[in-house]
Amino acid sequence: MTIGVLTFGTPKVPKAVPKPAEIKDIKGRLTVLTANSFKVDGTSIVLCGVRPSDATSAEKAAQSVKLSYENAYVKCKPVGGGTPCDGKTVATLGASTVAQCKIDGALDLATALTGSGILCGTIPSYKSC
């Protein structure tokens, strides 16, 4: 007759929480895909804090950006790494990294494109339409 069986197992040790990977800037030459999306050093980038303007067709806006900024050297800081969009937007959009990009380390691309009316700001840091 069996009354009960006690089993002792190895206590479960909580798994160590992995540290988030250090957010690294993406640097390289800009390839324009649309007015607010690019390829930089093989990484798909979407500018943070902006959206296309309704005043310009998507094709015309992309062409304008391409004429002005194609092949410019940029440094893009992903959301979460100290951008004006931190806490205001997602860090990824599909397979794209959402980031703030600066040309030659100084000119904020979103500021330039919202200032010219090609894009509209969605956060207070950038000019809205």
Q: State the pLDDT at residue 16.
A: 42
Q: State the pLDDT at residue 59.
A: 92
Separation CA 38–CA 43 (nearest Å): 8
Cross-strand bridge partners of residue 3 = none
CA distances from 72 to 31, 44, 52, 102 (A): 8, 16, 20, 10
Tens digit of pLDDT at every position of the chain (129 positions): 555 554 455 445 444 433 445 789 999 999 999 999 999 999 999 999 999 988 889 999 999 999 999 999 999 999 999 999 999 999 999 999 999 999 988 999 999 999 999 999 999 999 999
Q: State the pLDDT at residue 55.
A: 83
